[in-house]
Chains A and B, each alone.
Chain A
Amino acid sequence: MSERTILVADDETHILHVVSLKLRNAGFRVITARDGAEALEMAQQEHPDLIITDYHMPQLSGLELCQRLKQDESTSKIPAIMLTARGYHLEPHDTEQSGILRMISKPFSPRQLLATVNEVLEGVAA
């Protein structure tokens, strides 16, 4: 199987580093973006297999990012995992028009995140 690419978007650098390391060690190719606008551009250029995005980001929120990607035919199939602050809930109708398949609240366990990534990718492949 060819190397899968995952785009990670978060304005918190430490999260980018932790998530990237975890994913790289698991054999994924990782690209990172520090805000929603950058993430949008990268997703359109690189067509990653999965996006992990924070909800709260400058320029473009994680939700807006995922909604924009959904509207664009070339990126509409990319699944996404959203990281949110603890206690923050998105309503089902919020995520309807986006590729968001899972929500993970911070502080999260990197192991669980990796498990979720694998689950989502397997689900998409199936």
Chain B
Amino acid sequence: MTETATISSPPSAPPAVPAPVLENLAARFRPGGLCLVLLRNDGTIAYQDTASNLFYQRYALPMIQYPDAVSGLTERIAALTSNSPIEVWNVLPGVVLSAFPYVERRQLMGVMLLVGKSTNFKLAEDVIRVCGRLGLDALWLNQQAEELPLYPDETIQRQARLLLGMIRDQLRLSSLEQELDSLSGQLANTYEELSLIYQISSGMRINRTAKDFFKQACLDVMGVMNVRGMGVALLNNEQKQEPVIYGSLSLPPGKIHRLTDDLTRILIERKSPLLVNDLRGDKTFSWLADHARQLLAVPLQRQEQVLGCLFAIDKETNEFDSVDSKLLNSIANESAIYLENAMLFEGVHGLMMGLLHSLTSAVDAKDAYTCGHSERVALIARRLAQEIHLSEHEVERIYMAGLLHDVGKIGVPEAVLQKPGKLTPEEFDQMKKHPEIGARILQDIREIKDIIPGVLYHHERFDGKGYPTGLAAENIPVMGRILCLADCFDAMTSNRTYRKALPLEVALIEIRRCSGTQFDPRLAEAFIKINCDEFRALLTNHQEQTRKIAELQQGVRAPI
């Protein structure tokens, strides 16, 4: 961000005093008839007051610039150290010099000179000789010099002391300014980090897939960090996520695996960022040198447990530094929180779905003939919900409601459920209680409260002649209307004690016939539009699965 200040400059480089500062100082001493000069360590002039009296520009400064051997000026300059006090030199004819070392960070950076007209200036032999050497008219010089005051040693020394104080103040000020810029630069990096973390954490919706989340995070980081590739590898055992690299870098899949395997192995051990700015010279990653130059990797970890890693490859402009590593580490820490939550969520969700399926099987087991009915109704209802473009969330809730729609049958005697013949009115009344029993069973589970309408109203009819409430038309919640259709369709197309399964085509004709009486006509229309083969595939698929599960169960039972 800011240039780092050089600790020491080579002797010929100009001293670090900014030109405007020197101009400003020179202007303060010019009215008093003094000329400011800054020499480099080798005696050459780094700065001179170009607006000073011609006495200096034509006469004094050339003598300083090309000192003759007798004056001893070169030796005096060379003898100055960073600790030298202010000295006054009367070595040039008619000129007095006050000199002190210009020091920065305890290094001698040059020599400050305040040049004045000496009290012994007169048109004498020595001055005339110098004028001759410099090609100046001595009388003209005398005229120029008349405007200038004479500077006794102690006066010019006092002025030099003043100058020294001013320089110190100026330097302090400019170093403070530099420090402020450097602080602002660091702060800007922190802002960058903060805004990135904010952006990433606002994408931390728990029901988002890990792949989606990390893709976005990688793209966000790439926007800030300017890297060629950015990748993620997760050690999730449940659903082994393939490692990916985003960006312009492309690696063959085998190499991506090798890279992420190496990285996770190292990061599990090390638990802190890994920064390699020269892949060629690295013993683990030299094989990657054909594809990339630099690598920065950080672990995704929660409570010492490494869940995976984030890595960046090849900074576009320069090398990876501690700022990058800190930034990527913060992102990894944030992401690990998301990852842990997502894993917990996945676990809890899996547990809940498992429990729902068990509950469903328990219900279906009460009546061998309806085996798999709930699962099939769930699948059919889901397909219909998709057909009418409900949201993804609603579609999933309808699937769940399908699974549980008959859960109330737990409360209906098996004798009634499994009775082969026609039910008596009393038995039918018992049967008709199952939607309400189901709703009661589920009402205390907060997480699935929203599917209760599906359970409670799946025996309502569009014409209002259904049960348990007799609601009609749009007053029946849509979940109930969808489940009613799916339930009847599955009942018709399954074998029952009293009849064989109807062909799908026949069942669909029946649905068309009952559209507007039993079924919501709009839903019935959408349902009929779904291709028969699609249902067939859906149901065969399900049958296949249940058969396999049954075989497995048989296999387990066999030895007993």
Residues on A close to B: CB < 8 A? 14, 17-18, 20-22, 25, 86, 107-112
Contacts and interface: CB of A to CB of B under 8 A. Distances in A.
Nearest to B186: A18
B194 A17 contact: no
Interface string B14-26: 0000000000000
A109 B191 contact: yes
A17 B191 contact: no
A14 B186 CA distance: 11
B299 to A, nearest CB: 25
Given A17-B183, A21-B181, A107 B188 contact: no
Contacts of A107: 191, 194-195, 198
Nearest to A115: B223
Given A17-B180, A21-B181, A86-B198, A109 B187 contact: no
A25 B187 CA distance: 15
Contact of B187 (A14, A86, A108, A112): A14
A22 B185 CA distance: 8
Nearest to A112: B195
B192 interface: yes
B195 A21 contact: no
Contacts of B180: 17
B224 interface: yes
Given A17-B183, A18-B191, A107-B191, 18 more contacts: A14-B184, A14-B187, A17-B184, A18-B187, A18-B188, A21-B1, A21-B181, A21-B184, A21-B185, A21-B188, A22-B188, A86-B198, A108-B191, A108-B195, A109-B224, A110-B188, A110-B192, A111-B192
A64 B54 CA distance: 57
Contacts of A20: 184
Contacts of B187: 14, 17-18
B310 interface: no
A111 B184 contact: no
A111 B198 contact: no
A86 B196 CA distance: 14
Contacts of B194: 107
6 contacts: A14-B184, A17-B180, A17-B184, A21-B188, A22-B188, A110-B192
Nearest to B202: A86
A18 B191 CA distance: 9
A10 to B, nearest CB: 13
Interface of B: 1, 180-181, 183-185, 187-188, 191-192, 194-196, 198, 224
Contacts of A111: 192, 224
B197 to A, nearest CB: 9
Contacts, number: 36
Contacts of B224: 109, 111
B196 A109 contact: yes
Nearest to A22: B188
Nearest to A14: B187
A17 B196 CA distance: 20
B181 A109 contact: no
Nearest to B181: A21
Contacts of A21: 1, 181, 184-185, 188
A111 B225 CA distance: 11
A111 B192 CA distance: 7
B330 to A, nearest CB: 13
Contacts of B198: 86, 107
Given A109-B224, A111-B224, A18 B184 contact: yes
The 4 closest A-B pairs by CB, nearest first: A109-B195, A17-B184, A21-B184, A107-B194
Contacts of B192: 109-111
Contacts of B188: 18, 21-22, 110
A15 to B, nearest CB: 9
Nearest to A108: B195
Contacts of B195: 107-109, 112
A14 B195 CA distance: 15
Nearest to B196: A109
Contacts of A25: 1
Contacts of A18: 184, 187-188, 191
A21 B187 CA distance: 10
A120 B198 CA distance: 24
Nearest to A24: B181
B318 to A, nearest CB: 16
Nearest to A113: B191
B345 to A, nearest CB: 25
A118 B515 CA distance: 62
Nearest to A20: B184
Q: Which of B1, B185, B195, B224: most chain A Cβ within 10 A?
A: B195
B349 to A, nearest CB: 29
Contacts of B181: 21
Nearest to B220: A109
Contacts of A86: 198
Contacts of B191: 18, 107-110
Identify the interface centre among B185, B191, B192, B224: most chain A CB within 10 Å of its CB.
B191
B301 to A, nearest CB: 25
A109 B187 CA distance: 11
A108 B194 CA distance: 8
A88 to B, nearest CB: 14
A28 to B, nearest CB: 15
B191 to A, nearest CB: 5
A109 B188 CA distance: 8
Contacts of B183: 17
- Counting chain B CB atoms within 10 Å of each CB, which of A17, A107, A108, A112 scores highest? A107
A84 to B, nearest CB: 14
Most chain-B CB neighbours within 10 Å: which of A18, A111, A112? Answer: A18
B182 to A, nearest CB: 9
A15 B188 CA distance: 9
